[in-house]
Structure 1
Amino acid sequence: MIKFVLMVNRQGQTRLSRYYQPVELSRRAALEADVVRCCLSRRKEQCSFVEYRDFKLVYRQYAALYIVVGVTDAENELSIYELVHNFVEVLDKYFSRVVSSRSIMFNLDKVHIILDEMIQNGHIVETNKTRVLAPLTALDKMADG
């Protein structure tokens, strides 16, 4: 099961966070800082899967953007690794360009919609890019019409 998804820049600033298990607001900042420090301190040639406390971290770097997913020990790391790549491909398709930290910041609501279409209650529910983008496409048509 997926516990959380974080998108952070190279400076360690969180651009997006989505939690699928309750975490107190006071503890989120410390958790995010520790998780980000753990992932950003690793070298490129090291594995993108990290044992962390009582769960695992799966992360990928795209230019200056890191996507970190916290999962339970029972979750398949490779499937999560591919999910992250699929998520980025969906974002690239929607924004018609390479996703950057700025595009995340200025379109946070749309990024959350995309993430919610792919993951619900900590489980992957959809990976088809066209189906994931269907609600946003419909919203965009309503806004244009």
Structure 2
Amino acid sequence: MIKFILMVNRQGQTRLSRYYTPVELNRRATLEADVVRCCLSRKKDQCSFVEYKDYKLVYRQYAALYIVVGVTDSENELSVYELVHNFVEVLDKYFSRVSELDIMFNLDRVHVILDEMIQNGHIVETNKSRILAPLTALDKMADG
């Protein structure tokens, strides 16, 4: 099961956070700081899977952004690794070459995409056109 998803830049600033299990607000800040420190300190030739406290961390770097997913021990790391890549491909398709600014200024749209892919910590959709269908409909209504 997916516990949380974080998107952070190289400076460690969180650009997106989504929790699928309840975590107290004061604990979130320390959790995010520790997770970011753990992933950013690793070298490029090291594995993208890290054991951290109660979680397995799966992360990928895209340009200046890191996407970190915290999962339970029973979750398949490779499927989560592919999910992260699929998420970025969907963002690229929607924003046509997504950037950190796209994420910052369209956070609501990024959350819609994430909600179409993951619900209650489980992967529910991977088809790019089905994931983008609600946003496409919203964009058509806004234009019309």
| TM-score interval for Structure 1 and Structure 2 normalised by the shorter chain | over 0.9
Q: Which residue of 2 aligns with 1:136?
A: 135
Q: Any residues of structure 2 matched to 1:60-71 within 5 Å, and which?
A: 60-71=60-71
Q: Which residue of 2 aligns with 1:39?
A: 39
Distance, in Å, in 2 between the alignment partners of 1:2 and 1:83 is 11
Q: Give the C-alpha shift of residue 58 in structure 1.
A: 0.1
Distance, in Å, in 2 between the alignment partners of 1:61 and 1:38 is 14
Distance, in Å, in 1 between the alignment partners of 2:105 and 2:24 is 26
**Which one-letter code corresponds to 1:128 in the other structure?**
N
Q: Matched residue of 1:86: which SS?
A: helix
* Number of residues of Structure 1 aligned to a counterpart in Structure 2: 144
Q: Matched residue of 2:94: which SS?
A: helix
Distance, in Å, in 1 between the alignment partners of 2:64 and 2:137 is 31
Q: Matched residue of 2:133: which SS?
A: helix
Q: Give the C-alpha shift of residue 101 in structure 1.
A: 1.4
Q: Matched residue of 2:66: which SS?
A: strand
Q: Give the C-alpha shift of residue 96 in structure 1.
A: 1.1
Unaligned regions of 5+ residues in structure 2, if any? none
Could you report, residue by residue, the CA deviation over 1:58-78 in whole angstroms, capped at 9, with x for unpaired residues?
A: 000000000000000000000
Q: Which residue of 1 aligns with 2:48?
A: 48
| % identical equivalent positions | 88
Aligned-residue CA RMSD in angstroms?
A: 0.4
Distance, in Å, in 1 between the alignment partners of 2:69 and 2:33 is 14
Question: Could you tell me the TM-score, scaled by structure 2's length?
Answer: 0.99
Distance, in Å, in 1 between the alignment partners of 2:69 and 2:55 is 10
Deviant stretches of 4+, over 3 Å: none
Could you report, residue by residue, the CA deviation over 1:5-26 in whole angstroms, capped at 9, with x for unpaired residues?
A: 0000000000000000000001
Q: Which residue of 2 aligns with 1:92?
A: 92
Distance, in Å, in 2 between the alignment partners of 1:100 and 1:24 is 30
Q: Matched residue of 1:56: which SS?
A: strand
Question: Could you tell me the TM-score, scaled by structure 1's length?
Answer: 0.99
Distance, in Å, in 2 between the alignment partners of 1:101 and 1:141 is 25
Q: Give the C-alpha shift of residue 143 in structure 1.
A: 0.2
Unaligned regions of 5+ residues in structure 1, if any? none
Q: Which residue of 2 aligns with 1:120?
A: 119
Q: Which residue of 2 aligns with 1:4?
A: 4
